[in-house]
């Protein structure tokens, strides 16, 4: 006999863990199913830290959601007795001919965000670890910083368990189907479960769980590196911000020293390295290390010591690089929260709240039109959106 819940969440990473927490907090009977161990490094949420930028060049419409996420990261940190959000400020750096800075600045103006525009000399005076191209300009956002991403997942799961959620690690989904009563039935290798609502937040596996989403998603492998700092005093949290850096070699991002002896540097969108998420290993591409090292040697020499570690990270992309947060057209009891196109983790706390709202009330106070499946209408009409038969 199937065990019954109010909501089943498939994928207990950044988004799914937050959804389990928010649902359990509301008294919902919640089952969270995770393919791997809770807190694993096979997907998109590991690597210790994620930048939280309030200014958003990807679209001003994201700002209310990231503001809510920031508040929730702070609130959750207080609940567990340790901070999850660290306000170091965030610096976005690009060439003066790029529209990157202007779009971020416009999001600040649209939403009244504190910000400062800086030229190259001003950046290097403030943060002498940088050696920037002559035409660089930057936008500094004092209320931004970073989230302790791995710790935050464990915090959300712990809070969900404390509120009587049932979380099952190492239990992959085999398939799901709608029930005659308007709910869902989920089957794993360990059992069959039923619920009124199903939240699918499996990251890179979304195209396998909902095959009709495969044509509008792609999975790419990126790499994160940690490097021995040559001048650690210049990279400390009180002297160095979280940052993004848009230069000829590509787009990079990094953090002050925290949680690891090495300086963390990543690069989100160079080249697109297609990757099957069912590949059992997560070895970074050798070329990625070389690109990261060249960036450090040229632009942040204070961090260009020996390589201490590399990790691969999976980004699941849509054609326009916006998220998908919506119900399936043929199955309104099924809510999809993936992919997040490589820039979604910072929103996880707020997305968890959104998913709980959708699962319990059928609506969110946020405008989710940017993330709708409807914008992918041409592919939807061609392929439809069914279940994972």
Q: How far is CA 305 from CA 49, 241, 378, in A?
A: 20, 19, 49
Q: Which residue among the candidates 21, 40, 50, 331 is catalytic per the annotation?
A: 50
313 labelled catalytic: yes
DSSP letters, 192-211, are EEEEEEEEE--GGGHHHHSG
- What is the residue whose two structure tokens read 């490589």? 342
Retrieve residue 279's tokens. Answer: 């590949």
46 labelled catalytic: yes
> Which three-class secondary structure string do you get for 119-138?
EHHHHHHHCCCCCCCCCEEE
Q: Which residue among the candidates 313, 316, 318, 331 is catalytic per the annotation?
A: 313
50 labelled catalytic: yes
* Structure-derived torsion over alpha carbons of residues 205, 324, 145, 237, reported in degrees to the nearest 10: 10
Which is nearest to 243 in space by CA: 222, 264, 225? 264
Residues shown for the chain:
389
Q: Which residue among the candidates 25, 68, 346, 375 is catalytic per the annotation?
A: 346
264 labelled catalytic: yes
Which is nearest to 92 in space by CA: 56, 126, 121? 56
Q: How far is CA 101 from CA 95, 130, 141, in A?
A: 9, 18, 12
Side-chain half-sphere exposure of 384, counting CA atoms within 13 A = 5
Q: Which residue among the candidates 26, 29, 168, 269 is catalytic per the annotation?
A: 269
Q: Which residue among the candidates 25, 40, 46, 343 is catalytic per the annotation?
A: 46
Which is nearest to 35 in space by CA: 154, 161, 169? 169
* CB neighbours of residue 181 within 10 Å: 10
Q: Which residue among the candidates 264, 282, 343, 375 is catalytic per the annotation?
A: 264
Q: Which residue among the candidates 21, 49, 53, 115 is catalytic per the annotation?
A: 49
Which residues have a catalytic role annotated? 46, 49-50, 264, 269, 313, 346
């Amino acid at each position: 006999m199937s065990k019954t819940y109010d909501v089943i969440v498939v994928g207990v990473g950044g988004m799914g863990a937050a959804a389990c927490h928010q649902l359990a907090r509301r008294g919902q009977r919640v089952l969270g199913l995770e393919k791997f161990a809770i807190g694993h490094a096979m997907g998109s949420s590991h690597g210790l830290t994620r930048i939280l930028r309030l200014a958003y060049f990807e679209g001003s419409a994201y700002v209310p959601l990231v503001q809510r996420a920031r508040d929730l990261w702070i609130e959750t940190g207080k609940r567990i007795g340790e901070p999850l959000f660290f306000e170091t400020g965030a610096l976005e750096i690009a060439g003066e001919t790029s529209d990157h800075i202007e779009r971020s600045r416009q999001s600040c103006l649209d939403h009244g965000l504190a910000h400062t525009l800086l030229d190259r000399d001003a950046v290097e005076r403030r943060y002498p670890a940088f050696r920037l191209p002559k035409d660089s300009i930057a936008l500094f956002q004092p209320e931004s910083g970073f989230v302790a991403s791995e710790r935050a997942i464990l915090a959300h799961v712990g809070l969900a368990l404390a509120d009587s959620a049932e979380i099952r690690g190492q239990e992959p989904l085999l398939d799901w189907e709608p029930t005659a009563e308007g709910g869902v039935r989920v089957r794993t290798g360990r059992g069959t479960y039923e619920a009124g609502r199903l939240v699918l937040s499996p990251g890179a596996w979304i195209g396998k769980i909902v095959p009709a989403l495969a044509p509008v998603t792609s999975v790419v492998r990126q790499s994160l590196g940690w490097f021995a700092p040559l001048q650690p005093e210049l990279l400390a949290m009180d002297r160095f911000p979280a940052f993004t850096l848009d230069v000829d070699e590509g787009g990079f991002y990094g953090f002050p020293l925290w949680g690891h002896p090495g300086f963390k540097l990543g690069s989100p969108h160079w080249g697109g390295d297609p990757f099957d998420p069912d590949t059992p290993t997560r070895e970074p591409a050798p070329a990625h290390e070389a690109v990261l090292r060249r960036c450090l040697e040229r632009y942040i020499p204070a961090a260009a010591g020996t390589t201490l570690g590399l990790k691969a990270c999976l980004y699941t992309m849509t054609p326009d690089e916006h998220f998908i947060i919506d119900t399936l057209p043929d199955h309104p009891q099924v809510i999809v929260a993936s992919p997040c196109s490589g820039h979604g983790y910072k929103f996880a706390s707020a997305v968890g709240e959104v998913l709980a709202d959708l699962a319990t009330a059928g609506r969110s106070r946020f405008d989710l039109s940017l993330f709708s499946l409807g914008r992918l209408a041409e592919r939807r009409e061609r392929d439809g959106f069914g279940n994972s038969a």
